[in-house]
Structures are given as C-alpha cells and as structure tokens.
Structure 1
C-alpha cells in the first residue's frame, strides 16, 4: 500500500490541495492520499507540527507524511525529507516535520535535542523528481508532492538529494518544576477550543483529584479522565488522546471562555502531604 498524508495551512476554499493531489496521482495512480488537516492557521509552524505529531504513528510503516506550512517558500530555506521510525516526512526545513519524526523520543521525555542517527535527513536537490517548472511560491505542488509520489513508487530515498545533519529543529519547552508546582504552557488549541499543553501524562503524580490548576482567568481543582466529569459550562483538566494535559470546558470552548491563547502558562500545584 502506498499511503501519502497531507498536512497544510491551505484551507479548502482554493485549489491548492487538489493541485497537490493531482500531481501525486499523475505520478503514482495507486497512491492512497489521506488529508490530515488543511486548517492549520496560516504560517503557524508549531500548530502544523503538533497536528502531524498527533497522527503520524497511527499510519502503516512506509507512509509518507507531507507537511506544507511554509512561510519561507521561495527563500533560501531548504526542501528536505526525513526517514525515521519506518516513516518518511517531506516538507520545508523549518521544523514542521521534526516533532512527528521524533515521536517516540518525545513521548519518553519532553526534551528535543539534536536527534541521533535514528533520523536520516536529506536536502532535496535532485530536480529529476520535481515538476519540470517550479514555482517560487508553491513548492508543495512542484517539489514535495512529486517527491512523495516517486518515493511511494519505489524510488530509493537516497536518490532524492544529499545527506544533511543541520536541519531546523522545532523548539518545544519542557514543563518546569518549581517548589510544589509544575509550570507548563499552551502549545495548541483545537477546533473545540481545548487548550493542549506541553505537560505529559507522566509528569503528573498519580494522586490528581486535589491538584490545583491555574490558567488564564480560571483556577479549579482536579485532573480527571473524561469531559463528563465536569458540569456543562465548567472548566476541567484531563489527559487528552494525544497524551498531553489539556484544559477544556464541557460543551464549550476553553479558549473563548477563559480568554486563553498559545503560550499562556498552565500551573499545576499538588497538595502538600
């Protein structure tokens, strides 16, 4: 099976996504194309990286993940491909690929350092695998899509360019322990208004019902298992499906109700024993 996923900030109002799919199918008609999302906020590299992180490991080995959140398109930023954990990642060299490429390391410890040889990277420099005419504003169609299609058609990874080690890494802060508090921050806001933090499940002690949670305009107690643990309209904290602590409002938007935004601190204080 040849699977290619697409993650972009293109939206669906225009024809950009269809153009990429047309290029892929023109080269590899047998490809299965899966849309991760095209609703990443424009130019929001971190949001795109987080969206890809949440889905990449659930696909079959050999899947090619293409991510195009590319504010530097046409500049000197490189076009790259990564091979890691049995998957391939194609996109601009701005960090959008690196969270997903390090998913296993990320879940083990929220500390992103220069990766080991477990990740193989190349600078896409072989125009044989691009479209014949390359626009300076649409590398998603003219470089990334055709490379993905050729890769799923059986072309060897090394044929697409030259090895590199200095590709851009997305910096993701780890939560900080201070006295009896754990201080993290909001990384991502989903379409429901849930506030997803950089605090992983493993960072939080097992006794959680008395934990004090502070964020933006709210302060409440408890880290729970489901949204149903709160009354309608009330905020709550829980571990979301991605394994990160999130703040939600039952049947509402935490982002809107709490007037919260990406980068806002999340403070978890455990009761003293």
Structure 2
C-alpha cells in the first residue's frame, strides 16, 4: 500500500449496526506510517509481514509497529499475518517459516492476499475476537451474546475460525496493553524559554519541545497528504475532459470509485488532524 486507504464494513447484530473501519497504512518510510495518529484508538490490528522475506520484514513489525501499538493504544487485539503464502512452493517450507519466524506470544495466521486464501476468514476472526473481548466488559445485557450472533451471521463456529492460528499453543493473550506514559512535570510556561530550577524540569521541558516539534511535523505530513489528494483530483478531472464520448460512462464510474476512496482518505486525515490537535492541547496543558 502506498499512503493510506480506508474501507468500511457494517453488520446488523441484534438489530444494532456494528460498523468496522479498516485502515490500511503504507509501510513506506517516506509516508511515515509510524506517526502516533495511526496507533491511537485502535481496537484490533493485523501486523503483516512478507513470507518470502521474513528476515527483512518481521523484525520491523516487532521493533516499530508492535512498539507503537503498545505505546499509543490502551488495549487492542493483535494478530501477526504472514502474507504471500501462494509464493511458498511446499507445505514443509511454509511450516518451517511459521515455526522460525513469529512474534512471541502473538497468534500467527498465514494468508495470500493474491489468492485470498484465509484472507476473509482472518477478518472474520479478528472481528469475532474483538466482540468477544468487548462483551466481557459490558454491564448492560443489551449486547450480551453479540459475538455468537456474529458467528451465526457468517455461518462459522469459533473452532473453525481458530483453526487459522498456526501457533495457538504458544499464545498467552491476543491483547496488547499500553504501558503507562511518562508524566510531564507541570510548570507554567510564561515565555519561550522558562526558568528551570532543576534537572528534572529541564528534561521535562526538552521532552515538551520535542513532542511539540513531532506534532508539527506530523501535521505537516497530513497537510501534504491533503495536497497530494487535491492533485489527484485535478488529474482525474483532466482525464475526464480527454475521454472519448463512447467510453465516457465507464470512465465516470471508475472516477467515482476513486473519488469515494479519496473522500474516505480525506475523512481519515481530518480525524487524525483533530486527534492530533487534542493531543497537542493536552501536552501543553500538562506543562502549564
């Protein structure tokens, strides 16, 4: 994936609409997929690596993505996904990769995005797992049994879904919990460089400045993403103008699909920007 894309799925369970927002973020460093915006308020996550390049792609998941999930989410379900199983020639080779390349204590699922083997089942499993965990914390009886209702809807059993895991015996929990974030010492900032009376206050102030700089950098990247999408829209309009009449309807249909994707991406970036503003405001308040 280059950049980010969003898909939405809705289920009716117990006469209640359950909406699933699926964010697919690119792995390119130039896109900066590691900014905190992408890890805030995440309920469930697929950590995807390339089965044909496990040595190169799996460590990055553990070092970067898993670390950020642990840091920025309160609690979320996480599955490790080995993709491109269709490119592994033998079942034995696939088993060797699964045994040697995995993240400790996290469930592993092998899929092929190309052939779609286990792909939709993996989504069904993570949605079911979230609903089941969600039920545990409910006090209202209104949503009790909603995970079983989901199983009935997709016509599958829990055992069938869990058969996707290739290392279930090694898994302690499917949940990732965030660590306690370091607290900044509160101090009123009355000028650009406040009076600092101790080493602790100096360290806190440096952290504060670094955090604000990080926020500004991420906001700049989001704004750049807005600009890129506007450029794409201009290109789509130019393409429509050059389209022959006999193929105009098909081109319009394709353009509408792309515009809907761009609209979803705009909404995501706008939500990210608003969340970032809230986080920045909170950090500033902690320093007052």
TM-score, scaled relative to structure 2: 0.30
Name the structure where strand makes up a greater proportion of residues: 1
Structure scoring higher RCO (CA < 8 A, sep ≥ 6) equals 2
Name the structure where helix makes up a greater proportion of residues: 2
TM-score, scaled relative to structure 1: 0.32
